[in-house]
Amino acid sequence: MGPIGIFGGTFDPIHYGHLRTALELLQRLSLTEVRFVPCADPSHRDTMTVAGAFRLEMVKAAVADQPSFVVDDREFKRQGPSYSVDTLGRLRSENPSVSLCLLMGLDAFLGLPDWYRWEEISELAHIVVAHRPGWRVPEDGVLGELLRERGTDEAASLHNSMCGRIFVTPVTQLEISATELRTSLNAGLDPKFLMPDSVRKIIIESGCYVEDS
Ligand code: ATP
């Protein structure tokens, strides 16, 4: 069995930047699946966030037709803040002998040292970092050092061991961000061609990104 990809995020809302990145990583790394894990309690966020139930519904709609994309709603079944290290710990217990790859964009990787118990993540999973427009791979500091210690260019090393390596890779660069989408949706603009139609339909029918005036 190949590695399982784990793609966490607020997905507020999910868009083609997430989906295309996940598909390219699935194919390039021969992952068995990409597991989308929406964050239930994004307590680190202070910008507008729609109800978790909507974000979850949109992720489910987005991946419905894509084989090997699955939605994992475990963070919605737990109380309190959603910490990646806890989710990874549970996935590791459920899959004791499978390689796990935590997938993230370069912007998220640059914030890694602020994550709760971040240093334990490498004991649970590999970290796969996808380039994202506007962000540069760190050469210095704690992350630069981590990359020198644990970085690999060999996708095979993500298969040959269960955790601990860091793989940084280009993907098709799509300059789509959920923050910008929320702003344009609130202004009444159409998100067509930036996300699947199934997600667009939920947004338009619910009006969930239009703030009450
Ligand atoms: P925001 O713009 O509000 O920060 P976001 O678009 O980054 O949101 P998140 O749900 O926070 O969406 O992102 C989940 C993961 O997807 C993160 O690891 C992030 O780096 C990655 N990601 C988001 N957008 C892209 C993109 N356009 N290309 C590659 N990776 C992306």
pTM over 0.75: yes
| Dihedral sign, Cα of residue 198, residue 7, residue 47, residue 79 | positive
Helix axes 52-63, 197-206, angle to 10 degrees: 150
CB 48 within 8 A of CB 95: no
Distance 108 CA to ligand 1 centre (A): 8
Please tell me if the CB atom of residue 9 comes closer than 6 angstroms to any atom of ligand 1: yes
Find the domain containing 32 and state its range: 4-206
CATH code of the domain covering residue 52: 3.40.50.620
87 lies in some domain: yes
213 lies in some domain: no
* pLDDT computed for residue 163 by the predictor: 98
133 lies in some domain: yes
Q: What is the pLDDT of residues 111-166, one digit of tens each?
A: 999 999 999 999 999 999 999 988 999 999 999 999 999 999 999 999 999 999 99
* pLDDT computed for residue 47 by the predictor: 60
131 lies in some domain: yes
Structural domains of the chain, count:
1
Which of the listed residues 26, 107, 114 should we mutate to test ligand 1's pocket, taking the one with most ligand atoms within 8 A of CB?
A: 107
Residue 47 CA: nearest ligand 1 atom is 3
* pLDDT computed for residue 43 by the predictor: 63
211 lies in some domain: no
107 lies in some domain: yes
Q: In this structure, what token pair is assigned to residue 87?
A: 């989710």
Please tell me if the CB atom of residue 178 comes closer than 6 angstroms to any atom of ligand 1: yes
Please tell me if the CB atom of residue 14 comes closer than 6 angstroms to any atom of ligand 1: no
